[in-house]
Amino acid sequence: MKNNSIKIVILYFIAIFSFVFYSGCTSIFTDISPDDSEYSQPANDNPNHNPDWIMIENDLETTKDCTPVLTIFSEDAAYMSFSGDGNNWTEWIPYHSSYTEFNIAGGLYGTIFGSGEKHVYVRFKDVEGNLSLLDELIFDSIDYKMQDLYFIKIVPQSVTISISDSFTFNAHAYDFGGKNEVPMEGSKVTWTKCCGVGKLSPTSGLSTTYTPPPIVGERNITAHYENLSTGAIISIIQ
């Protein structure tokens, strides 16, 4: 009888210990579950907890590229626009979850030329024309380290157009090896065309539009920046 009482006491304590241990483990594993909403999307700097978000260069602390990868998410957006200060914006472009054409250090659209901490703001517009709220703008930040400019390039470097069309070209600059894009001061970029054939407008800035003459053939344009220059070939067809 005495042995049975001892066994009952031992089983009682085992049951209590098992309950406490199981409850503690469950709490621990719940806290670190990868399905927790804390891990469902990257953190952003919007205090209103807007479900839309933007992330620069996979959330790295620094970048050497003035056109880093922007990862964007919005459930309802059809169009998006970017800014360096939340006040001066790019034109609306179709919504994409990834974008690499916004220059964070070029001095345009609210950005500041050169190295330093950079902010990228994004706003959205749906198919009905409704805009995201200006007091709920989301943004991300990154430290930009400007590299030495080594060469420039016109994009695209060659194109075929008809005599009734026109085409817009953009000037870009890169560091040694071409790994990182480097910003240029747009006012210092000039454009020229061969033999005065066709029309360039404007003749300075980071981009220009070429309108061909009503004559088929091959034409050349050139972009100049400081002591560097680069060309592009335009094939004009009927």
Give the closest residue to 220 by CA, choosing from 201, 233, 207.
233
Handedness of CA 138, 144, 146, 150 (dihedral sign): negative
CA dist., res. 58 & res. 71, Å (int): 7
How confident is the model at residue 196, as a pLDDT?
78
What Rg, from alpha-carbon coordinates, does the chain have?
29
Q: Please state the domain count of the chain.
A: 3
Note whether 11 and 88 are same-domain residues: no
- Please answer whether residues 133 and 52 qualify as being in contact, where contact means their C-beta atoms are separated by less than 8 angstroms: no
The pLDDT score that the predictor gives to residue 30 is 34
pLDDT at 2 over 90: no
pLDDT value for 37: 36
> What pLDDT is attached to residue 50?
62
Instruction: Assign residue 20 a region (left: φ > 0; alpha: ψ between -120 and 50; beta: otherwise).
Output: alpha
pLDDT in tens, 85-100: 999 999 999 999 999 9
For residue 171, being part of any structural domain is answered with: yes
Handedness of CA 113, 115, 116, 122 (dihedral sign): positive
Q: Which of 107, 125, 144 is the last residue of a domain?
A: 144
pLDDT at residue 133, as a whole number = 82
Mean residue pLDDT of the chain comes to 85
- How many whole angstroms from its chain centre is CA 133? 20
Beta-bridged to residue 198, according to DSSP, are none
Q: What is the pLDDT of residues 111-166, one digit of tens each?
A: 999 999 999 999 999 999 999 887 788 999 999 999 999 999 999 999 999 999 99
Provide the domain limits for residue 25.
1-37
**Statement to judge: residues 29 and 95 lie in one domain:** no
Q: 208 or 36: which carries more pLDDT confidence?
A: 208
Q: What are the distances in angstroms from CA 44 to CA 57, 133, 146, 175, 226?
A: 13, 16, 24, 30, 39
Question: CA dist 97 to 40, 42, 77, 94, 100, Å?
Answer: 16, 14, 10, 10, 11
pLDDT at residue 134, rounded to an integer? 77
Distance separating alpha carbons of residues 79 and 185, to the nearest angstrom = 28
Residues 29 and 66 in one domain: no
Q: Look at 174 and 40; give whichever has higher pLDDT.
A: 174
Which is nearest to 159 in space by CA: 225, 221, 108? 221
What local confidence, expressed as pLDDT, does residue 43 receive?
46
135 three-class SS: helix
pLDDT above 90 covers a percentage of the chain that reads 74
Q: Give the pLDDT confidence score for residue 49 in this predicted structure.
A: 56
Residues 25 and 59 occupy one common structural domain? no
Name the band, by pLDDT with cuts 50, 70 and 90, for residue 177.
very high
Same domain, 59 and 102: yes
Task: Say what the pLDDT of residue 131 is.
Answer: 92
Which pLDDT score, from 0 to 100, does residue 135 have?
77
DSSP, res 7: H
Contact 119, 85 (CB under 8 A): yes
11-69 pLDDT tens trace = 454 444 444 444 444 333 333 333 333 333 454 554 445 689 999 999 999 999 999 99
Three-state SS at 207: strand
Write down the pLDDT at residue 182. Answer: 98
Do both 202 and 176 map to the same domain? Answer: yes
